[in-house]
Each structure stands twice: as structure tokens, then as C-alpha cells.
Structure 1
Amino acid sequence: MAFAINRLSFPALVVTLALSCVAGLARPAAAQDMAFRQAVAEAAYGNEAVATFYRMRNYQPLFTGSRDGRRRSALINALATADDHGLPSGRYDPDALKATFQSAKSARDRGRAEVLAARMFLQFSTDIQSGAMTPSKIDGGIVRVLPRRDPLLQLQAFSKSSPAGFMNALPPKTHQYNALMAEKMRLQKVLRHGGWGPTVGSGAVKPGESGVAVVALRNRLIAMGYMGRSASQSYDGKLQKAVQQFQIDHGLAPDGVAGTETLGEINVGPEKRLAQVIVAMERERWSNIPKGKRHIEVNIPEYTARIIDNGKETFATRVVVGKNQPDQRTPEFSDVMEFMVINPTWNVPRSITIKEYLPQLQKNPNAVSHLRVVDSRGRTINRNSVNFRQYTAATFPYRLKQPPSQGNALGQVKFMFPNRYNIYLHDTPSKSLFERDQRAFSHGCVRVADPFDFAHALLEPQTNDPVGLFQSKLNGGSESRLNLEQPVPVHLQYRTAFVPAKGRINYRPDIYGRDARIWDAMQRAGVKLGAAGS
């Protein structure tokens, strides 16, 4: 048998040579089998998982065999749902795959169809389980480790499972994901029917008023589902109640007045809201991991931290997050809280030391007097003995520390989940910031409005007297560590669209611009807004 080596990939050549040595002058069925194997080897070349999978199963088909009809149907049906999940459906074309199956008459054609199906399966299963995008390539502040499955193990698991059941189990099985998907469908119907109608004028609209702006506000809220149909042209109690509910759902002070900020949110169109929902679904796929029976969720744009026990919120508090500055935005990742430090010392991060405090010390050695200047051996240095002007940001040899006190920048307790980003939750003496709607003021860490109550809630599983245990450490005055007997997973998230356990969907501003960058990347990958029924 002659071989045109320059026309065959190396794996295909190996398979063909091996088969010819065994079969000799092959019978027709054996020749068909050899042609199928050769085609699979050729088509799988360059994809190690696919090539290994078929080699391990002796090139037996998974999709194209006479008994594989249910598996073919399950895959094609799942691929057809890609748009429903806000995925780039062009990556896996179910119609093209179906046509390839139908037109595969020869053994070689079946081999190529086999590998095409395997590749589409792997792409789709990866995308719908753990996200179609790679977040770290979109924004450096998203440092989450994606729950990517091993592709070889994925193929092996599919080969041993109920096809339809396996495909149905791929998306995240959370209340949040299902609710977002339902909201996506609803918004697409809204778009199909023309949106929410005219926007409301830019001037504030207040209870008791009447006129064109009130009618526009009423009609907009009716279209958005915040109130039933009404012919009233005055800003009455029903309209005020609808405005208040809208404000609650958008993180605004529920004063019932349609001021500039409230009208800005009311005038956001369904297209933008749909994009937020699709991005939120992608984010859910990025964090498609067991969260923990007890865990902490911090939603950065919502400025809220929660303790979740067995799927139910048992504690919530307002938080302050990082400023919208390149080196101060709070990153997104998951870790495990192991302990709390009571009466903490603040070891000032070097970035803050050299950017904020060194210039002040160069002007006045007695500036920031609440901080101690410490050398590499931990000894406190007399400021008057140091010429701060001789140092640059690169050469400054000292560290700054703030001893425990009620005025300490970390407050009286910090909650530790040791990580490479030096991010943690902590108390703060700057309580007034928690009264603001927008709370992005920190250097990256998360400041907690109710730190003592938070500590008590965390300690409840390990003591009958969490308040007494915490207070005994606090009253000691010196820095002390209190371990959590059961460490608690912490998830720093960024959700500008989310659905509470009860109530309608909530939206928040994209304070760091991360969702906008994600949506741009998803559009470039082929994700479209679409409209239900279009």
C-alpha cells in the first residue's frame, strides 16, 4: 500500500500503518473501519483531549454509531439553547452539525463528523459550565480562578451518562442563574414589543405635581411593571409608592421623589438592562462552584455583605469598597475566612506609605503623628532623627504602623482570609460614609458598617455566647487573634444585575466599568441581545 505522506498528518499515518499491518488485504467492513479511524485521527490532530479520548476507546464512535441517536439529539438540542444562555452561538452551530451528520455517507465523512461533534461538545460544555470568556483577559481586577473541567474527563463522563440528563446538568443550578435567564427572556419580549416607551424629562418630578412629566413617569413605570394601569395625571400615592419600589430595586434612597438620579435610572433602556443580565449570567458561570453551606457574599456594586446559611440570608450589612482608581478597586475572587483579629495593628501597605504619607513626611516630619515609623527590625524610629527628603519611593527604608485604638484605620476588628492581594474585611472609624448611596472610598479592602454584629454572627456556630467571647477579647485592648473553628468561604462578587430570593430584579451602576468591558468582549465573540420570537 502506497502513502502520500505529505497529505496525511502524522497521527493518521500511524493509525493507517497499524491497521494495514494487522488487516493485510482488508475486507470491505474492515476497510470501512480503518477509514473511519484514520479520519478521526486526522480530524482530532492538534486537540490532545479529543485525540486521547478516541485512542483510549480504540476509535469507537460516540456520536455517529447506529446506537448513538440519543446522544446526537441531546447534543444538537443543547446547542440550540446557546442563545437562551447568552452564549456566542456561532461557536457551535447545531444546524451545521445536524447537516454534517445527515450528509456523512462514507466512513471518512463519519469520522470527520464524529470529531466535529466532539469539538462542539467540548466548547459548549466548557462555555455553559464555566463561562465563554476568560475574565483575566478582560479586566485585571477579576482574578477569579475559573472552574474549568478537564476536557478528557468531560468526554469520558458524557460517554457514560444519560445524554439528555448530562447536557441538562451543565448550566449552573442556582436560583440566581435561573432567575437571570427568566429575566433575559422577559426583556427580550419587551424589546420585541418596542421597549418601555418615551423617557421622562430631566427635571425632578415630585409628589403632588401634575402635568406632562408626571404622565410620562407614570407611563414608564406602568410599562416597567411597577404599577397597574392608571389614568391619573397627578403624582399621587400610587405613583409615589411605585417610585419608592423602583428606588429600592436600584439601590437609591426610597424617598419617593423622582429626582435627577432616580430619573437617570428610570430612563435606562431595556437594551442596557438586557446586556447587564447577560453579563451577570456569564459571571454566574465563572463562579459555578459549591459556595459552601455557610458562606459570605460581598457584592461590590451593591455595597453589601451577607452571610448565607443553607441558601438563606442570615445577616447583611452595608460596606464600603475600593475607589474607582487603577490600584484601589476591590478585586473579585473567592477564598476562605479563617480568623479575625481584634484590636488590630494597621501595617500601612507600602503603596499607601510611599504615595500618600511619604510626601507629607517630607514636608513635615511630624505629619501623620498617629503612625509610628518602624525600621526593618521592628524598632520605632525617632522622626526627628530622619531626613525624609533624602528618600524616594524606591529607597524609603521604613514602614509605618498604627497601634490598636478606636481611631485605628482598621477599626477594632478585621476579618482575615489570607490572600495574595492583601484584601480583607474590617471595621472603620469613618462611619459617616455608610450613610451614602454610593460607597466606593477605600484603598481596596472592604469596610463593614456593623463589624461587631458581623463578628457575633460568625462566632455563633462555635459558642453559646458569641457576644461575650468577642467582648472579652475586645476589652483586653491588645491585639489578639480569634480563630473560626469552621472556616467560612468568602466570595467577592461584582453583580450589577441580581435577583433577590424574594422580589424583582435589582440593578446597580457599573462602578468600575467592568461589566461594560465584559459586554464588549462578549459582543466581539458573537453574543447578541436578540429579541424573543425574532
Structure 2
Amino acid sequence: MRAFVFLLFLLVSARVVQGEPVSPGNQTIGKKTTARQHAPDSVLAAQLRCHFQAMDSNAAGPERRAFNTQLARFYAARSYRPVWTERADIAELIEAIGESENDGLIPDDYHIKEIRSFFLSPPRTPELQAKYDLLLSDAFLSLAYHLRFGKVDPESLDPNWNLDGTARRTALEYRLQNALAAGRPKAALYELRPTHSGYAQLKKGLARYRVIAGAGGWQKVPEGDSFREGVRDSRVPLLRKRLQQSGDLPGGIADSSNVYTAVMANAVKRFQKRNGLTVDGVAGTATIGEINIPAAERVDQIRLNLERYRWFVNDLEPTYVLVNIAGFTLQYIENGRYRWGTRVIVGQPYRETPVFKADMQYIVFNPQWVIPPTILAKDALPAIRNSRAYLDRKKLRVIDSSGRVVDPASVNWSGYSAANFPYRLQQTAGDHGALGRIKFMMPNKHVIYLHDTPTKNLFEKSERTFSSGCIRVENPLDLAQLVLQDSVKWNRKSIDSIIGTGKTSTVNLPKRIPVFLLYLTAIAEGEEIQFRRDVYNRDDRLQKALDSPVPEYRIESCGL
């Protein structure tokens, strides 16, 4: 459970803040003097200790119980002294909670109503003061964690997720304690937000789309014949207004005609490009369908992808490869800057490309493809049983465990399944091969890699879910030059030369390069927000998790 990991090491050194000991009765926290208007620390400490003892561990779910345990450790490390002794700090926290909505989070998850009520009418009894302190600490730590790592555990949605930020989380824990001691809770929370430009631009896009949705959104454009340049249609004014609302058509154009002009066709092209559609300027069924998606749904789509950014963005290294499965794109980022990008083909909806991170370590030129177990079971063996011509058509050789080529006629094809098949089906290298002339190896349990492909025509499709899980790269030789990082030894001429030999050869990268396979259905390109179809139907499940209330935090009466 992520909450458990988050607070596992929480502040066992909390008695020492900036090198100076803090005693239970000390009236000074950091450099601030506390204005006491509540019970003495010793009384509140007894109340806080009592509250933790009274917590009914069976009343909460496992995640809530784990968080309660770590929150208890947090207070135990400071001898149960209260944390929130300055109204200015509480006011800052209230403001930060309210502004969490700008990150797509939900202020109600952080007890905003109860905290505001307490702030306006401060509790007078020691028991209520202790409850108030616990509520504030729970809100602060929860919000800090969600801003840094996300509210939803990605592993709960996809067990393939393998990013582990334990070391960074440990550093965060000490940072939060110091922030509280120094009286800067709001600043600390702001510093935890991802600083990646893509995240910042998505936040701006969220604000823009919320304004549109708050004003009533846009009116749907009725279905009908496709809009083509020069046609007259009574729906044109409605389409024009819709394109102006989303910024695809400048709002200052004064035109009330029913003619679908070249200016409007160009605006539609811009819309189509932003939404991953075929860019032809013709507003047909697919384009009108995207145009009619309500602004409120786009707001939610942006919120979902802000959450996805929080899952991975703090783990990005200066140089990496990022594949956006939903966007069918690959980007090579070098020293924190975009260097190069290309189109890719990903897994079919029933053979999804998994989401995970792995390190690219070497390249294979003129690779020979060995049919993996899934394709062997679902495609190859059934096809061979139907006709052995499949082997010739695919240029496949049957190889035994000793590496010898076996006559296909000697194999009892009906007697084997993929589970007990004692041979390998190996495809010879060449332009005909499923892997083309090059593959990029990043060892992982999924046996997923990047590679060339002989079916170049498929890159022209706007939606490219055609593979069995691996990533087909449109311009793989350009990528090879970049990752080999030696423009003298590994230029295009030398790469063409090694491919020209036809021999299978392996070249290690001078430095491993992390590859992130991610699933993003809304991204920022400068000031523009680009949307992509949810080809694997993952958005709804994340939406439910993101909008679900956090596990209830109950503060039991301790009976003192």
C-alpha cells in the first residue's frame, strides 16, 4: 500500500529540526514563537496519545489503518506535541487545500469543510483541540502525498506498473517535517507539484476548459453530410461558433454565412490534428463526433491525465524515451529537452501494450524473429495446423532445443500446444521480417521491445493499434543514431552498412536509456491541449478511482 510506503520512515528524527532539539514543553518551533490560546502541550499530548490508542483498527480499510499507524508514528516522534499551533499556518493550509482543485484534485478529500468550521470557531476543550490537530495533519500529509505521487495507486489499476519512488518519498517525509517546523506549509505543498512543463500546461488547459464548461459548454453540431470546402449548410454557423470556443478558429472573424470556407476547413484541420484524427479539413462523422464531446468531459479528461503525470513525472531522468500508447507517438528527450519524435504502432485492444518502464540496453541489427508464446498459441499453431504453407509464407524455420533446423513434415503439429511445444519458430532476417532491420532491446518480463516493421503503410492510419504488444517505430534508423550517441562511429552511412551485410549483430548502447511506456489521453503541446481516444478503455476506471472519496478518517473519542 502506497500510504504505508509513504510514511514508513516518517520522521523518526523529528525531535531534531534543523539540528536543534525540540522538547515537549518548548514554546518555540523553528524560529516562530507560538501564541498559546489552547491547552498546554502536556495536556494535548495526553489527548493525542489517547486518541491513537482509541482508534478502532477494525473500523477502517487496510490503507486507512496503515496511514493511521504512520500518523501515530509521526506524533510519537514528537512526543505527541501538537503540530498546528499557529493560525497563520492553518490559514495557509486551508488556502492550499482550496487550490488543489487547480491540480484536478478534490478539496473535500482533505477535510476542507471541517477545517474551515474549526478555523472560524476554534475548539475550546483539549479533546476537540487534539482532534483538530489530527485532522489538520491528516489533510496536510494526504495532500502532500497526492500532489507528489498521485491520489490513485497506479498498481491498483494495472499490476504492470513498476515505478518505485521509495527513495524520493523518504526525502519528502523529512522535507514536510521541516516545512511544518519552519511555518511554511503552503510553500512546501506548492513545491511538491510537478514542475514539468507538460504538467503546468495541462493545468492551464484545465482552467480554460473549466471556464468553457462553467459557461454552459458548447452546443452540439447536428449530424449530417460531411462539411467540405465550398458547401452551404445551415449548420455552418453553429460549427463556426464551436471552433471559436475551443480556439481552433480565431474569435474575431465576423462571418455569419452558411458557407464552409477555406478558413473554416483550416480550423477543422487544426482541430483534427489536436484530436489525433485524419487531417483533411473535412468535418465528417468522426470529426463531428469529437467536436460534440462536451466541455465537461474534456475537463475530466485533463484531470485524469494530470493524475497520470503525477505517477511518473518525478521519475523522469534527463535523457529518456517516452512512448505514449494512446497517442501512438515516441519522443526522445535529451538532457531535459525534446530532441526528436516519430509515429509508432502499438498493441491491438485485445493485446494491449503494457504500461511500464525499462532500460534500453542494446540494439540488434538484422534481427531474426522468434515467435513469442502468445502469438504461437493464438496465431501460429492454429494457422500451421490448417496449412503448413503458413511457414513458407512467413519464412519461418523450425528450430529444436539444440539449435538445429527441423523438417516441418516431421513435427506432429496436432500433438502440441503452446505450453509444451518443444521447438522455436524463427523468422529469417530481412525486409520481409516482422521486426524489419532493427530492434531496440530493453529487457523486461513482458518481452516487449521497439522495432522496425515491413508494414510502413500502417503509419498513415490515425489510430494505430495493430501490433501484438511490441512498439513498431516509423523511423527506427534515426532513433538508432540518437541512442548510440556517437555521430562519427554510428552515422547513417555506417548503420546502413551494417544492415547491408544481412548478418544479425548486436551493438550495446554506450549508456542505458530509460524507456517509459505510458498511456496519456490528454497532453499539452505548448498552449494547446491535445486529446486522444481512450483506445484501451482505461479512462473510466481511473475516473471512478480519482473521484472516489478517500478512506474515511475517524477520530475516536479517547475518554479522558
The amino acid of 2:104's aligned partner reads G
CA contact (8 A) 2:436 2:454 kept: yes
The amino acid of 1:82's aligned partner reads S
User: What is the rounded CA distance, in whole Å, between the counterparts of 2:43 and 2:162 in structure 1?
Assistant: 44
Q: Provide closer, same or farther for how the CA distance between residues 384 and 324 of structure 1 changes in structure 2, counting only shifts above 3 A.
A: same
| Candidates 68, 80, 92, aligned match of 2:110 | 92
* Aligned CA-pair RMSD: 2.4
The TM-score with structure 2 as length reference comes to 0.82
Cα deviations across residues 435-482 of structure 1 (Å, max 9, x unaligned)? 111110001111001111111122245646522442343233222221
**Superposed, which structure 2 residues align to 1:180-219 within 5 Å?**
180-219=202-241
User: What is the rounded CA distance, in whole Å, between the counterparts of 2:138 and 2:488 in structure 1?
Assistant: 53
Name 1:315's counterpart in structure 2. Answer: 340
What percentage of residue pairs aligned between the two structures are identical? 33
**Superposed, which structure 2 residues align to 1:220-239 within 5 Å?**
220-227=242-249, 228=251, 229=253, 230-239=255-264
User: What is the rounded CA distance, in whole Å, between the counterparts of 2:481 and 2:454 in structure 1?
Assistant: 19
User: What is the rounded CA distance, in whole Å, between the counterparts of 2:480 and 2:539 in structure 1?
Assistant: 32
Name 2:444's counterpart in structure 1. Answer: 419
CA contact (8 A) 1:322 1:445 kept: yes
User: What is the rounded CA distance, in whole Å, between the counterparts of 2:378 and 2:256 in structure 1?
Assistant: 59
Cα deviations across residues 80-134 of structure 1 (Å, max 9, x unaligned)? 2232222133221223124335533233333322222222222111112111112
Name 1:78's counterpart in structure 2. Answer: 96
Answering whether residue 543 of structure 2 is matched by residue 522 of structure 1, we say no
Name 1:289's counterpart in structure 2. Answer: 314
Name 2:56's counterpart in structure 1. Answer: none
Q: Name the SS of the counterpart of 1:204 in structure 2.
A: coil
Answering whether residue 366 of structure 2 is matched by residue 346 of structure 1, we say no
Name 2:500's counterpart in structure 1. Answer: 475
User: What is the rounded CA distance, in whole Å, between the counterparts of 2:487 and 2:49 in structure 1?
Assistant: 58
The amino acid of 1:37's aligned partner reads A
What's the offset of the Cα at 1:500? Answer: 0.8
Name 2:47's counterpart in structure 1. Answer: 39
| 5+ residue gaps, structure 1 | 1-18, 20-28, 527-534
CA contact (8 A) 1:197 1:223 kept: no
Answering whether residue 163 of structure 2 is matched by residue 145 of structure 1, we say yes
The TM-score with structure 1 as length reference comes to 0.86
Q: Name the SS of the counterpart of 1:341 in structure 2.
A: strand
What's the offset of the Cα at 1:404? Answer: 2.1
What's the offset of the Cα at 1:307? Answer: 0.9
| Number of aligned positions between the proteins | 491
Q: Provide closer, same or farther for how the CA distance between residues 165 and 298 of structure 1 changes in structure 2, counting only shifts above 3 A.
A: same
- Mean Cα displacement is larger for which, 233-242 or 426-435? 233-242
User: What is the rounded CA distance, in whole Å, between the counterparts of 2:542 and 2:439 in structure 1?
Assistant: 32
CA contact (8 A) 1:338 1:417 kept: yes
- Mean Cα displacement is larger for which, 387-396 or 402-411? 387-396
Name 2:153's counterpart in structure 1. Answer: 134
Q: Provide closer, same or farther for how the CA distance between residues 147 and 70 of structure 1 changes in structure 2, counting only shifts above 3 A.
A: farther
Q: Name the SS of the counterpart of 1:287 in structure 2.
A: helix
Q: Name the SS of the counterpart of 2:226 in structure 1.
A: coil
CA contact (8 A) 2:485 2:510 kept: no
| 5+ residue gaps, structure 2 | 1-23, 25-36, 54-64, 551-560
CA contact (8 A) 1:139 1:517 kept: no
Name 1:53's counterpart in structure 2. Answer: 74
**Superposed, which structure 2 residues align to 1:378-389 within 5 Å?**
378-389=403-414
Name 2:30's counterpart in structure 1. Answer: none
CA contact (8 A) 2:209 2:299 kept: yes
Q: Provide closer, same or farther for how the CA distance between residues 395 and 290 of structure 1 changes in structure 2, counting only shifts above 3 A.
A: closer
Name 1:506's counterpart in structure 2. Answer: 530
**Superposed, which structure 2 residues align to 1:326-405 within 5 Å?**
328-369=351-392, 370-405=395-430
Name 2:130's counterpart in structure 1. Answer: 111
What's the offset of the Cα at 1:365? Answer: 4.0
CA contact (8 A) 2:329 2:341 kept: yes
Q: Name the SS of the counterpart of 1:441 in structure 2.
A: strand
User: What is the rounded CA distance, in whole Å, between the counterparts of 1:418 and 1:70 in structure 2?
Assistant: 52
CA contact (8 A) 1:88 1:132 kept: no
The amino acid of 1:259's aligned partner reads G
| Candidates 188, 191, 194, aligned match of 1:172 | 194
Q: Provide closer, same or farther for how the CA distance between residues 476 and 198 of structure 1 changes in structure 2, counting only shifts above 3 A.
A: closer
